[in-house]
Structure 1
Amino acid sequence: MRLRKYSGRISFVPAPGFESYGMPCNESGYGKPDLSNQSLEEVKVQQHGYQGPNVSLDDLEWRAIDGPFVGIWLHNVPWGSEDVKAAPNAEFSDGCLDLVIIRDCTNLSLLALMTKLNDGSHVKSPSVLYLKVKALLLEPGQRLDEPTKGGIIDSDGEVLARGEGTYKYELGGLMTYAPMQITVDQGLATLFSPR
């Protein structure tokens, strides 16, 4: 009942057919995201295991969308759970991530969206922006109603980061509540399943 809205920015490289969404990052007020600024912790993590796709993100055409946001979902499969079809057009092997942004909306609009999650028709709402991206930089912001509080970033329900002032903030998280870059690596895994 107490709808939370957050500031922030999403910078992204659109998939073909989605180039008209957002504002070009080279227009006034939208600089290209700085992808070179890494903390020492990030560098240590990247020294082990798979390093990710070898892609020059600086040469790509970035676009940006500013908040307020109610929620942001990123999927590479249609179903978020057995009864939530969060990203109805997602395909596991298309080399894209499906970005679902719930924009500034009322409590009643959000409730109506939630009743449509089981069949994916929530993406037709004017409060929802649905697009495919090749790369994404999420710059999470503070709550609009309480600027001293941040939000929570999770993956499959597991909390990765908690912004200051959030529930159980003192417990910390796997990462800091700071900009997060996500890139698609098409064809990294092969999936076999029965028909």
Structure 2
Amino acid sequence: MNKQEQCRVAYYYPPSFSHSILIALDGEKGPGGGTGNGMVKSLLDSVGYPCTAPNAVLTIIRGLVADIDIESEKYRWMGSARIDFYALQRILHLRQYDGCISFVPAPGFEAYGEPTSYHGKSTGKHDSCSPSEEKSVKVRHHGYQGPNIDLENLEWRSISGPFVSVWLHNVPWGGEETMAAPDAKFSDGYLDLILIRDCPQLSLLSLMTGLNNGSHVKSPYVMYLKVKAFFLEPGPRTKDPTKEGIIDSDGEVLARGKGTYKCDQKTPMAYDKLQITVDQGLATLFSPI
């Protein structure tokens, strides 16, 4: 692709995400969604093109990074400095979260975690629904249902918390200055999983400064691997079980648990089990010949 050529992206994602991608790639100046646009940064970086203001999916986040991303909204008047400011606050008053993650590792990453079985058949309180809810579910099922994968017969592994951060990435860049997953590749059929389970505060501060070039993944406190499928079972805060956490997707809140920032607001999903699988090559990039 000639880096001077314009391109269009068609992708199913929350409106603010797709809107900000389209205006960025069109070169239109206007408001975007999310906290930075890592997908656009990743697209432009892959062809050596700079990510400027006009060229200003992506991630599932839980723990430290999600807390910084969402809770720092109270300091929006500070501009982009709010992220660094609130990151320092959260590191000094560090939270850990209970829970468990399960995943199907990519080849070469089978040593991570412990063997487990697929936990996707939930029997929790969110399984039952009223007739009106059933009708709503049927409407959603007219859309694309994801890849046809026999999840139960895959080789699942699991890692239990507590966690400082769980970060699942589809592209290298989480923002214009955040290379969260340096080994992520377009259409490789995998997601990059970045985990921090336990980390001293000073080491965490040093680790966060390496996000601009991806060197954070070399830290002994970081587990970095590729997965084909991912299953999150979120839990409460380790030191305060009366409070839960936030699940964030590219700056958009998917779920807010009890006692979280603006927990009274409605969210697209409950703070409960979350499953993600990869459909390789589903998104398409178009460019003039």
Deviations 1:147-167 (A, max 9, x none): 111010000111110111111
On the 8 A contact 2:197/2:221 being kept in 1, the answer is: yes
Q: How far 1:35 sits from its partner (Å)? A: 1.7
> Please, which of 142, 155, 158 is the counterpart of residue 48 of structure 1?
142
1:15 has 2:103 as partner = no
**3-state DSSP of counterpart to 1:72:** strand
Q: In terms of Rg, which structure is larger?
A: 2
Alignment check: 8 A CA contact 2:118 2:151 kept = no
> Whole-Å Cα distance in 2 between the matches of residues 67 and 187 of structure 1?
32
Q: How many residues align?
A: 188
Q: For 1:169, what is the secondary structure of its paired residue? A: coil
Note if contact 2:98-2:234 (Cα within 8 Å) is conserved in structure 1.
yes
- Match runs of 1:12-91 below 5 Å: 12-25=103-116, 32-37=117-122, 39=127, 40=129, 43-44=137-138, 46-91=140-185
Cα RMSD for the two superposed structures: 1.7
Q: Given residue 76 of structure 1, which amino acid in structure 2 is its aligned partner? A: N
Aligned to 1:6: 97
Pick one of 239, 257, 260 that aligns with 1:145: 239
Q: Which range is displaced more, 145-154 or 105-114?
A: 105-114
Unmatched segments (≥5 aa) in structure 1:
26-31
1:46 CA displacement: 4.4
Q: 2:188 aligns with which of 89, 94, 109?
A: 94
Identity %: 68
Alignment of 1:126 onto 2:220: yes
CA contact (8 A) 2:229 2:276 kept: yes
Q: Which has the higher strand share?
A: 1
String of CA shifts for 1:114-149, please: whole Å, max 9, x gaps.
110000000011111000000000001110111111
Which one has a larger percent helix, Structure 1 or Structure 2? Answer: 2
Task: List alignment gaps of at least 5 residues for structure 2.
Answer: 1-91
CA contact (8 A) 2:105 2:227 kept: yes
In 2: Cα distance, 1:189 partner to 1:132 partner: 19
Moved more, 116-125 or 170-179: 170-179
State the AA in 1 paired with 2:108: G
Q: Residue 154 of structure 1 aligns to which amino acid in structure 2?
A: D
Residue deviations 1:72-116 (CA, integer Å, cap 9, x gap):
111111000111000000012100000001121121121111110
- Residue by residue, what CA displacement relative to the aligned partner does 1:32-64 show, whole Å, maximum 9, x if unpaired? 233233734694464131111111100100000
Contact map agreement 2:99 2:160 (CA 8 A) in 1: yes
